[in-house]
Amino acid sequence: MPTAEERKRLLRGVIPRARRLGVDDTLRGWSWSAPPLLSPYEVPLGLSEVAGAYCETGRDVYARRVLGIEAEPNEKMLLGGALHGTLRDWVVHAKRSLYACGVGRIEEAVERIRTFPAPELPEAKTLVQYETDAIEFRIREAMSQFPRIGTDALVAQVLPVTLGQMLDGAFLGLSRRLSTDLLNLGEPVVLDIIFDDEKRDFHPLTLAGYALVLEAVYEFPVDVGLTVYANFRDGRLRMEREFTILGDEVRMEFIEARDEKQRMVADAMDPGSCEGCEAWCGR
């Protein structure tokens, strides 16, 4: 959840600015049946394959899709997967506890949330501890601010997230089984949680891709995305949140990346390996 300052920045700065800038209608997901969104190739890639540029030349996609080589996941990918899994389980547990006890037995609900089994992984343990403390604060804040709040409204107020929303990316020539996280702050905000990594120029492409797919499937505008960078240092969780206006430029960049990578796979063009391959790269 964003801090009070971030929420203010979002509601008073980012969202109004996004509305003012607008998006060209040809770059809204619902225009999927016409160029430039119309996919020119029958190569349904995963969204992370299109948006990810950890491998600069995109040879990872070529290796997987053309050569049929599935690279072993590296340490970072394994850690990220485990933390995402823990967070997903914790959110379900917290929502279930709140619904089971209801606003009438809120102290019991808080206690119940604390019974989430401590994960073995130290980073996951830190993450669960942080989220548990944070939700307790948010519950108490909401209960004092809205004394007559109902159970369902309380859950929406304190945990306004949907983790792992399934989407059919076929409209944009992508995989039919995409999964994204969403933050529901009055209007849907695409959420991308990145564990143990620095900011990269291409991270906003993931947000743009999911916004386009959401617009194609549900036909409502998605103008803002949020990337959460969660890093662990000395047993402490450090979080940085970056809001992105999903304007024309980042959408065009996503579509260009999609076309380029699909062309590479369809025509089996080896892009060559990249020079500055990162040390943790699993290939």
Contact residues for other proteins, defined by CB under 8 A: 20-21, 24, 26-27, 34-36, 38, 40, 245, 247-250, 252, 259
- Which of 64, 41, 44 has its CA nearest to residue 174? 44
Between residues 36 and 102, which has the closer beta carbon with respect to other proteins?
A: 36
Between residues 10 and 27, which has the closer beta carbon with respect to other proteins?
A: 27
CA dihedral 200, 78, 240, 179 (to 10 degrees): 80
Between residues 1 and 23, which has the closer beta carbon with respect to other proteins?
A: 23
Contacts of residue 199, defined as CB under 8 A and 6 or more positions apart, other chains included, come to: 227, 229, 242
Sheet-wide strand order for 161-167: 161-167, 178-185, 187-195, 224-233, 236-245
Q: How far is the CB of 24 from other proteins (least distance, A)?
A: 5
Q: How far is the CB of 36 from other proteins (least distance, A)?
A: 5
Q: How far is the CB of 49 from other proteins (least distance, A)?
A: 20
Q: How far is the CB of 253 from other proteins (least distance, A)?
A: 8
Q: How far is the CB of 250 from other proteins (least distance, A)?
A: 7
CA distance 186 to 85: 26
H or E segment and range at residue 152: helix 151-158
Contacts of residue 8, defined as CB under 8 A and 6 or more positions apart, other chains included, come to: none
Between residues 191 and 245, which has the closer beta carbon with respect to other proteins?
A: 245
Between residues 27 and 163, which has the closer beta carbon with respect to other proteins?
A: 27
Between residues 32 and 210, which has the closer beta carbon with respect to other proteins?
A: 32
Between residues 27 and 212, which has the closer beta carbon with respect to other proteins?
A: 27
Q: How far is the CB of 21 from other proteins (least distance, A)?
A: 6
Q: How far is the CB of 172 from other proteins (least distance, A)?
A: 13
Q: How far is the CB of 279 from other proteins (least distance, A)?
A: 29
Between residues 247 and 271, which has the closer beta carbon with respect to other proteins?
A: 247
Evaluate whether 228 touches 193 at the Cβ level (below 8 Å).
yes
State whether residue 114 is helix, strand or coil.
coil
